[in-house]
Homo-oligomer: A and B are copies of this chain.
Amino acid sequence: MMQTPRARKEQPVPSATVPRLSGYLRQLQEIQARGTATISSRLLAEAVGTNPAQIRKDLSYFGEFGIRGVGYEVDRLINELKKCLGLDHTWDTIIVGAGKLGTALARYRGFQKQGFNLVAMFDASRAVIGKNRGAGPVLSTQELGKYLKRHHVDIAIVTTPAAVAQTIIDRVVAAGVPSILNFAPIRAHAKKPAIVRQVDLSTELMTLSFYLKKHSSH
């Protein structure tokens, strides 16, 4: 098998490229599951709904693994994408807010598979504390500070009500947790350098509503 592994020095991957890499990885894992060993940039582009030039550009950031005239080796490309996306690590994750959404996330199957290790869940409600919502007994949010002193945590997922979300984020970030995935409908921010990502159901619903209104008034 002829190979041209012209791997480049590591270049910084632009932030706009990262979500696309995760899309490529997902498609490649499906392609791998069907037993396909190599794939051309044209077919991969079709699978993810983009063009081959975009694929080649995006994949060039972390080395070139294409074989001229054959395409990409699926196994190898998956490994490289996983490494690039940090999915060769395990990230210790907590969920603060063990309501319906928190529980759904705790039981989300993709979670463990992608290397997110759910180590604890917290809630302020007496009715929930002590119950198993997917990660053993739910702890009281009052114990959050104590817990974070004793345990290493990489990611805090916040699914509390809006009114307390920023306070929780402040406490978690102050305790040294480097990244937050916030589902509460607030514009969350961190007082110390930390990575804060937002999943905003409320904005998505309002955006749909806006376009529906435009659509239905034609």
A residues in contact (CB < 8 Å) with B: 13, 18-19, 21-23, 25-26, 48-49, 84-87, 89, 91, 99-101, 103-105, 107-108, 110-111, 114-116, 154-155, 162, 178-179, 181, 185-187, 189, 195, 197, 199-216
This chain's copy number in the assembly: 2
- Select from chain B the residue with minimum beta-carbon distance to A88: B213
Rank and list the top 5 A-B pairs by shortest CB-CB distance, nearest first: A86-B213, A22-B206, A100-B104, A86-B209, A104-B104
CB of A19 within 8 A of CB of B207, answer: yes
In the assembled complex, the Cα of A137 lies from the Cα of B195 at a distance in Å of 41
16 A-B pairs within 8 Å (CB atoms) are namely A18-B206, A22-B202, A22-B203, A22-B207, A26-B202, A85-B213, A86-B212, A89-B213, A91-B208, A100-B104, A101-B104, A101-B108, A108-B201, A178-B216, A195-B212, A195-B215
Q: Which residues of B contact A206 (CB under 8 A)?
A: 18-19, 21-22, 25, 85, 87, 114
Contacts of A48 in B (CB 8 A): 187
Which of A104, A155, A208, A210 has the largest number of chain B CB atoms within 10 A? A208
